Amino acid sequence: MTANLDLLEKNDPSVFAALRGEEARQRAGIELIPSENYTFPEVLAALGSVFTNKYSEGYPGRRYYGGQEYTDEIENLARDRAKAVFRCEHANVQPLSGSAMNQAVYLGLLEPGDTILAMDLSHGGHLTHGAPVSHMGKMFNFVRYVTDPSDGSINYDQVRKDALEHKPKLVLCGYTSYPRDIDYEKFKDIADEVGAVSMTDASHFGGLVAGGSMKNPFDFGFDVVTTTTHKSLRGPRGGMVLCKKSLASKIDKSVFPGLQGGPHMNAIAAIAITLQKAQSAEFKQYAKQVLINSKVLADALMDRQATLVTGGTENHMMVVDTVASFGLDGRVAEETLDKVQITTNKQIIPDDPNPPLRPSGIRIGTPAATTRGMVEEDMLQLADWIVTCLQNPEDDAALSNIRSDVEAFCGRFQVPGI
Ligand code: DSN
């Protein structure tokens, strides 16, 4: 690997310099975007391996190209480990990433024009949960449920009413910006009542389900669970569709040949590695600590007068209403924190009066910081820095001092693989 980087340095100094710059950035700052993480070093090795050279259209034992003895082995390993980790009957590990994974489910199990009940983007759902700007949003009839204005959480009575009125073929729970856990029992009952497929998009918290710190939708009888592999799971960029055996053939055909050609076998090797790691005692402890850190950070921010959407967190993330808390829109808040190397992302909040590129909040999460070994006392320090910066966005001297402190603090925490 090092030899290859030496070659890169010699033959393409521009890309090499950017790569070294990104390494330095990841080391010197605190990563708080809830969907990001530092992958396992073995995952980086697999991603840069010869598996990237191989075409493997098809599935193990039934491929359209020769030379598959090792690719079959790793894909079988990845599928078997996924089934063991998520306690499910079938796993497809080929989706190239999260959007393809969700599209494969809709296109495999439904007909264009069918109704899907899913969470509205501005209330925490994902683009692929039917945002009107997405292709899926145009191809299917999405009915989008919203959160309850009284406390910002899902109103299950309203979801049920929506389901009874619109009779969806698929009921989807899961989120990209919602700081609460899900009542799977209620969602499953609603799906059953209208005869719909029950699906969870667990992309954000897949690693926490794998590590046992959050509930597993399959324990409540769900039909389909999708998850990306690069967020709380700490794997490569990729996606998985996990489902009941009765849906396996439709899902597999939908992923290939329906939606994709050759799978990325280097990513599948890395997914296999990730899913073995996910079964370790260390990973279970990690998943637990992610939630502890999240709660401590959320409480500490609220103690320092920050307003959080839903008034706290039950998962790995929190959404700060920066307009209500500090009189700053989310873009200014994100840029202010960038100045001290604390990375967050601007975020629309429920019924946001402001546009997506200048929304009213930021999203903060603890998976990456926890990977580096940060614990409760470190979260208190982070809360101090975040609030001080957002209360003093024009104070360049204070920001510069905090930036130095952040860099010194980060020196105590290794980044895996760098
Ligand atoms: N972009 C991801 C996130 O940040 O939540 C979801 O795809």
pLDDT of 34-47, one tens digit each? 999 999 999 999 99
Per-residue pLDDT tens for 63-75?
999 999 999 999 9
pLDDT band at residue 189 under the 50/70/90 scheme: very high
CATH 3.90.1150.10 in the chain, residue ranges: 2-31+281-410
Which superfamily does 2-31+281-410 belong to?
Answer: Aspartate Aminotransferase, domain 1 (3.90.1150.10)
Cα end-to-end distance, the chain, whole Å: 12
Do 385 and 342 touch, CB atoms closer than 8 A?
A: yes
The pLDDT value given to residue 363? 98
The helix (H) or strand (E) run that includes residue 318 is strand 317-321
Per-residue pLDDT tens for 327-342?
999 999 999 999 999 9
The pLDDT value given to residue 42? 97
For the cut 60, the answer to whether the pLDDT of residue 230 exceeds it is yes
237 is catalytic: yes
231 is catalytic: yes
The pLDDT value given to residue 374? 98
pLDDT band at residue 3 under the 50/70/90 scheme: low
- Residue 126, ligand 1, Cβ within 6 A: yes
Global pTM reads 0.97
Per-residue pLDDT tens for 333-391?
999 999 999 999 999 999 999 999 999 999 999 999 999 999 999 999 999 999 999 99
Query: Which residue of the set 57, 89, 181, 405 is catalytic?
Result: 57
27 is catalytic: no
**Atom of ligand 1 at shortest range from CA of 128:** 7
Ligand 1 center from residue 94 Cα (angstroms): 19
Across residues 255-261, what is the average pLDDT?
98
What is the spatial distance between Cα 342 and Cα 284, in angstroms, rounded to a whole number?
26
- Site to substitute for ligand 1 among 33, 97, 126, most atoms within 8 A of C-beta: 126
What is the spatial distance between Cα 146 and Cα 154, in angstroms, rounded to a whole number?
7
pLDDT band at residue 4 under the 50/70/90 scheme: confident
CA-proximal residue: ligand 1, atom 6 (nearest): 176
Number of neighbouring beta carbons within 10 Å of residue 394: 7
Q: Which residues contact 235 (CB under 8 A, 6 or more apart)?
A: 39, 40, 43, 229, 270, 271, 273, 274, 275
What percentage of residues in the chain have a pLDDT greater than 70?
Answer: 99
**Residue listed under structure tokens 């491929």:** 63
Ligand 1 center from residue 35 Cα (angstroms): 6
The domain made up of 45-277 has a fold known as: Aspartate Aminotransferase; domain 2 (3.40.640)
Q: Which residues contact 94 (CB under 8 A, 6 or more apart)?
A: 75, 255, 256, 260, 263, 268
Q: How many CA atoms lie within 13 A of 70 on its CB side?
A: 11
The chain-wide mean pLDDT, for the chain, equals: 97
CATH 3.40.640.10 in the chain, residue ranges: 45-277
- Residue 35, ligand 1, Cβ within 6 A: yes
For the cut 90, the answer to whether the pLDDT of residue 119 exceeds it is yes
The pLDDT value given to residue 134? 95
278-290 CB burial, b ≥16 within 10 A, e <16: beeeebeebbebb
- Residue 176, ligand 1, Cβ within 6 A: yes
CA-proximal residue: ligand 1, atom 5 (nearest): 176
For the cut 70, the answer to whether the pLDDT of residue 2 exceeds it is no
For the cut 70, the answer to whether the pLDDT of residue 1 exceeds it is no
What percentage of residues in the chain have a pLDDT greater than 90?
Answer: 99
Number of neighbouring beta carbons within 10 Å of residue 368: 25
Per-residue pLDDT tens for 120-162?
999 999 999 999 999 999 999 999 999 999 999 999 999 999 9
